[in-house]
Structure 1
């Protein structure tokens, strides 16, 4: 369950830990063990205002600041990770003349991440379910295969954030029903992100991403 406590901050319970993601500060924050029970009770009970100790914790770490809107952690979202596998076209699609367009998408995304905070970058990439006819899954898989086979021709090192945002950018309107998902593990702490359609994880495997507890979608 993802709890959005502020427009820029979400929380999830991962095992015995509570992890926060603050996209305004581009950072993850693990709630200290002595505050986990109090924070969990606040999220569970869905009161608008946090207990004073939780409020102090959020402000001390810059997650909540003067002028921020009211807390909205009552808005919870459950994210389902699709289990369908990519079709065989993942292995056979040709990465023809699209090498240059993929390289452009990766370069522009890399530059955007270097110059801007994560929050406005994600705002640019936000998708909502479209009333238009869903994209055919085989066509979408074919496009993702083209991206994957073209990606090595871009000089920027791979990482999940850059590659996920680049794929989303390159797909453009074809990604209108897709979601960028951020996930975390608590012990040890790791963070990951991926792009998924309603039916398929597009740039990773279910076995890998299912290890993570979703903390944010865009």
Structure 2
């Protein structure tokens, strides 16, 4: 049997340690030292012992090479150098007009994230498909001015929505808010160690949309959607 990385699984390396994210089971994990060595061998050469391959498949790191995919493969974005929330570019009136829409989209994603019927992988796949439908192939054609104004309107309106902020909740909500305006953004998951912490944010090229550059740089990207 031939294997490949599970589409729902991605990983990064921090201080010589591999950290894995499984979106299907919504968990972060590490492998044993011995299994990590075998996984590195698989990544470098595509080969390892049959027993190791089977064990990696048991941990859902590898899957049958014929299995289908729900999401595009993760990829690297530019190192962030700018932050949209550290700029001011829209009017308070624009933000006020956006409150009903922002309240609705935040409430929607809160209910979806709380639901046990919608796995995180499926929810993110739907968000990615929604973005594709509304932005098409305009990934690199977004006006930065339009992007900054939309982010500022969302950020100000979000302050008036009485739902506790959460990075995943607000990133998914902003992703949809931008997509409705034909504006493309990437959803990035990141982790940090000592102590372990998981985070996510939106980014376009080297522009962070809903976080500060300093906070984003404190996390190592593990998945880009």
TM-score normalised by length of structure 2:
0.79
Q: 1:100: which partner in 2?
A: 100
Shift of 1:34: 3.7
Shift of 1:164: 0.4
Measured in 1, the distance between the counterparts of 2:74 and 2:86 equals: 36
Q: 2:125: which partner in 1?
A: 123
Contact 1:90 1:144 in 2 (8 A): no
Local SS of the residue matching 1:98:
helix
1:148–1:192 distance in 2 versus 1, CA, 3 Å: same
Measured in 1, the distance between the counterparts of 2:79 and 2:200 equals: 12
Pairing 1:1-218 to 2, within 5 Å after superposition:
5-45=5-45, 47=46, 50-52=48-50, 54-63=52-61, 69=67, 77-86=75-84, 90=88, 93-94=91-92, 95-115=95-115, 116-126=118-128, 127=131, 130-132=136-138, 134-174=141-181, 176-218=183-225
Larger displacement relative to structure 2 (31-40 or 57-66): 57-66
C-alpha RMSD of the superposition: 2.9
1:184–1:108 distance in 2 versus 1, CA, 3 Å: same
1:15–1:206 distance in 2 versus 1, CA, 3 Å: same
Unmatched tracts of structure 2, length 5 or more: none
Contact 1:10 1:20 in 2 (8 A): yes
Measured in 2, the distance between the counterparts of 1:88 and 1:162 equals: 20
Shift of 1:65: 6.4
State the aligned residue count.
Answer: 210
TM-score normalised by length of structure 1:
0.81
